[in-house]
Amino acid sequence: MTKTIKTTAMSILATLLMGASSMAFAHKVAIVDMQQIFTQLPQMAAVEQALQTEFAERRQAVEKLQGDIRFEAEKFKRESATMSKAQQDTLKEKIQKMQQDFADQARPLEQEMKLRQNQELAKVQALVMQAIEQEAKAGKFDEVKRKDTIIYIDADKIPDLSDKVIERVSKVK
């Protein structure tokens, strides 16, 4: 009788352990396509437009200076044969000064534009991450993976939350 009780107890314990292990394998996974999300968000177009407006005046000034440098360099190329040595030196100095001015304006502008772009992208990225988390919780997913980091996925079995994330973030102003 003791042997029967031990066997029954072991059977029950084995059944419980198997049930627990199968529960551990019931892992709900979803994917998101970050590239698709960022290309379809209206916030990204707004960021692009805002940055273009913010830096338009300075960019135009740098582009004008670049055009002036090109013009003076072509002028030097065309007319240097007929110029005196003093005129050549003067024009070379003018071009060099313009190139230095260009470098002094272009580098800081580019750095500032990148900084501002990163700041704005960080805001949008925070909204996207929040939306992914909300969609994962709403769908009771255990894990959400980036589509571009997965080698193979059965699209029929693993849901893609990208459209839902786009919809959710698009509603945020």
| CATH code of residue 36 | 3.30.910.20
pLDDT digits (tens, 9 = 90+) for 91-109: 999 999 999 999 999 999 9
Q: How far are the Cα atoms of 65, 67, 73, 100 from residue 96, in angstroms, in the given order?
A: 12, 14, 10, 6
How many domains would you assign to the chain?
Answer: 1
| pLDDT tier, 21 (very low <50, low <70, confident <90, very high otherwise) | very low
What's the pLDDT score for residue 146? 94
**The one-letter amino acid at 77:** K
Both structure tokens of 35: 């590239």
What's the pLDDT score for residue 9? 47
pLDDT digits (tens, 9 = 90+) for 30-77: 999 999 999 999 999 999 999 999 999 999 999 999 999 999 999 999
Burial 6-35 (b: 16+ CB within 10 A, else e): eeeeeeeeeeeeeeeeeeeeeeeebbbbbe
pTM of the predicted model over 0.85:
no
**Residue numbers of the domain that contains 125:** 2-170
Mean model confidence pLDDT for the chain: 87
Which residue shows structure tokens 């059944």? 15
Describe the chain by its helix, strand, coil percentages, rounded to 5: 80, 5, 15
Q: For residues 88 and 96, what is the distance between their CA atoms, to the nearest angstrom?
A: 12
Half-sphere exposure of 50 toward its Cβ, with a 13 Å CA cutoff? 11
Instruction: State what percent of residues in the chain have pLDDT above 70.
Output: 86
Judged by DSSP in three states, 160 sits in: strand
Cβ atoms < 10 Å from Cβ of 166:
21
pLDDT digits (tens, 9 = 90+) for 151-168: 888 888 899 999 999 999
